[in-house]
Amino acid sequence: MQQTMGKALNVRGATKTYRTQSGEVHALKDVDLTVRQGEFIAVVGPSGCGKTTLLWSIAGLHRLTSGAIALGEEWITGPHPSIGMMFQEANLLPWRTVRKNIDLPFEIRGHRPEEARIQTLLQRVGLDGFGDKMPRELSGGMQQRASIVRALASDPSVLLMDEPFGALDAFTRDEMNKLVEEIWLEARKTVILITHSIAEAVFLADKVYIMSARPGRIARVVDIPFPRPRSLDLMETREFFDLVNRIKHDIQHQPAALPAMARSGATS
Amino acid sequence: MSETSQAGARIMGATGIASGLGDQGARETAAIVAVALLVIGGAELLLRLFQVPQYILPAPSAIAGVFVSHEIPTILQHYAYTLVELLAGYAIGASIGLALAAVITQFPFVEKVITPYILLLVTTPMLALVPLLILNFGFGFTPRIIAVALASGPMVMINAATGFRRVDTMKIALARSCGASTLQIFTKIRIPMAMPMVIVGLMIGAIFGMITAVGAEMSGGGFGLGSRLTTYSSTLRMPEFFACIVILAVTGITIYAFFFWLGKRLAGWES
């Protein structure tokens, strides 16, 4: 074990079962996951593999059927102030200005917005002077920038990202990935990224967790060896391409190899 | 999200909140004034040309004349009664309607049980109940205020309920991820989401309220603009009759314009 685990995020035996009319659906089954403080991990897998359920459970938005989640010494049983979340398609409230959207978490917690921090973040993501704009006046990429600021404004130690860039075009997406890496290198948050894009996962993460569906479980963990900071040119390299293809192959051919790998992979 | 907001926008469009009365350029304004003058002037001309008797259809000039005649203080006095009934009845009806919509949409089962009765209230012409109300409450303000409340309340409720029923899981999850309480989710997410439909409901309710107030006045009691309409038409005083109609039309347009403005301010994000 590492000497300084800091506030690691631990998921142990996470199981989530939904009851539907056609029977029980195992969205998650015995998922174990450890994310060290400051580590950036990505979770990929086919649709319906339960990756969003996993993330929402960590955010305290879903109750697990069994298993437990802890941040450092603390059990996560509901939304936690040290855990920030970015949603699909920015999820800005369309009736609030950018600035009012960023203030929302503070409003809800009854705190004053951290003015200096918000200004720095707005500048950092290139939204300086856009505070009074309404979300619909911004492009998809700009909306996601605002959503990054909202998630980071209260300085959480963990950032959860739920397929945040899925709706963006390829160029904007690359741009956002670069920005996310830069910000992560500066702030060293613990990050869990859920994505459909294997390239995005490989580009951003230290480790990529591959999930399989029905029941949703961790099938494999792949360490990403590329040094940081990573430039977008990395995506053009042979090594990058090969790694992405290997992961893609793993996702497509996983069922048979599942049980053994799940165990060894998740605890490595 | 985009689906529901589009539906909302469509409803706003259908009731005209999003169209008409917008910011027109100078040329559009000029065209609107020109058409209005043409219609009024044309009516004046035709009615004079064919020597249509005043008791069939008075000319615009004759109607305008009423507004500077001795009759106008009387008309305005009765108009004031109508406004009192409208405002009192609407205040009661709209607030009950809004509160009911906000509460019952949180409890789908209760909503299922109550909705048929609300629909019954929406579809029943409240004017039909006025004679009964008069029988119970006399010829004063009371039966009219009750009728206005009964006409406007269900309209407000049924539209507002449509708004409150809009759920956006992602936005509610966002609020919850920040630790929002049920009340905070209501004030910060559900109410703003419902606002466009709430305003549509308030507008339709106000207009239905006005129609009902005037109709109730026509059923008896001897005061209010509705009773003036009855008096003038039975005595063939058509210019006065139409002057009352003009006042009511202006009131209706004012109600519409007010809620259009309110919609732009409070729910402009959706159009």
Q: How many Cβ pairs closer than 8 A exist between chain A and B?
A: 52
How many structural domains comprise chain A? 1
* A85 contacts B174? CB cut-off 8 A: yes
Q: Distance (Å, rounded) from C-alpha B39 to C-alpha B35?
A: 6
Q: What is the pLDDT of residue B22?
A: 52
Q: Which one of A93, A97, A133, A163 would you mutate to disrupt binding with B, by most B Cβ within 10 Å of its Cβ?
A: A93
For residue A63, list chain B residues with Cβ-Cβ distance below 8 A. Answer: none
Assigned domain for A45 exists: yes
Q: Is the pLDDT of residue B24 over 70?
A: no
Q: Averaged over B65-88, what is the pLDDT?
A: 96
Average pLDDT for B68-91: 96
Cβ distance A91 to B174 less than 8 Å, yes or no, reads: yes
User: Does residue A42 surpass a pLDDT of 90?
Assistant: yes
Give the per-residue pLDDT at A228: 87
Please report whether residue A69 resides in a domain.
Answer: yes
Q: How far apart are CA A40 and CA A185, in angstroms?
A: 10
**pLDDT score of B19 more than 80:** no
Residue A146 has pLDDT above 90, yes or no: yes
Using an 8 Å CB-CB cutoff, list chain A residues near B170: 87-89, 91
* CATH code of residue A234: 3.40.50.300
Measured CA distances, A26 to A32, A62, A262 (Å): 15, 14, 16
- CB of A259 less than 8 A from some CB of B: no
Give the distance from residue A21's alpha carbon to the nearest chain B alpha carbon, in angstroms. Answer: 20
| Residue B6 confidence class, pLDDT cut points 50, 70, 90 | very low
The closest CB to that of B180, out of A56, A108, A136, belongs to A108
Q: Do A91 and B179 touch (CB under 8 A)?
A: no
Q: What is the pLDDT of residues A218-268, one digit of tens each?
A: 888 999 999 989 988 899 999 999 999 999 988 887 654 444 444 444 433
Is the CB of B123 inside 8 Å of chain A's CB atoms?
A: no
Q: Are A85 and B177 an interchain contact pair (Cβ–Cβ within 8 Å)?
A: yes
pLDDT at B153 over 60: yes
Give the integer Cα–Cα distance in Å for A267 and B4.
44
For residue A106, tell me if it sits in a domain. no
For residues A162 and A88, the answer to whether their CB atoms sit within 8 Å is yes
A13 found inside a domain: yes
Chain B residues near residue A85 by CB distance under 8 angstroms: 174, 177
Domain of residue A75 covers 1-79+190-268
Count the neighbouring beta carbons within 10 Å of the beta carbon of residue B250: 10
Q: Is B177 on the interface with A (CB under 8 A)?
A: yes
Residue B250 pLDDT exceeds 60: yes
Six token digits for residue A192: 């869990």
Distance CA B7, CA B14 (A): 10
For residue A55, which of A86, A30, A82 has the smallest C-alpha distance? A86
CB-based contact B192 A93, cutoff 8 Å: yes
State mean pLDDT over A118-130: 91
Specify the DSSP element, H or E, that contains A262: helix A258-267
Q: Do A93 and B178 touch (CB under 8 A)?
A: no
Instruction: Specify the pLDDT at position B61.
Output: 94
Chain-chain contact of B175 with A94 (C-beta, under 8 angstroms): no
Using DSSP bridges, classify how beta strands A207-212 and A40-44 pair: parallel, antiparallel or unpaired: parallel
Tell me the per-residue pLDDT of A5-36, one tens digit each, with 9 for 90 and over.
578 999 998 999 988 888 888 889 899 999 99
Q: Which of B3, B169, B172, B178 is best to mutate for the A interface (most A CBs within 10 A)?
A: B178
Task: Check whether B193 has a pLDDT greater than 60.
Answer: yes
Q: Any idea where the domains of chain B sit in the sequence?
A: 2-270
Q: Is A63 in CB contact (< 8 Å) with chain B? A: no
Closest CA of chain B from A97, distance in Å: 10
Q: What whole-number percentage of chain B has pLDDT above 90?
A: 72
Q: Give dist(CA B102, CA B195) in Å, integer.
A: 11
> In this predicted structure, what is the pLDDT of residue B271?
67
Which CATH code, of 3.40.309.10, 2.60.40.640, 1.10.3720.10, 3.50.30.30, is assigned to B2-270? Answer: 1.10.3720.10
Flag the least confident range among A92-96, B62-66, B102-106: B102-106
Burial of B253 (0-12, 13-18, 19+ CB in 10 A): exposed
**Domain presence at residue A132:** no
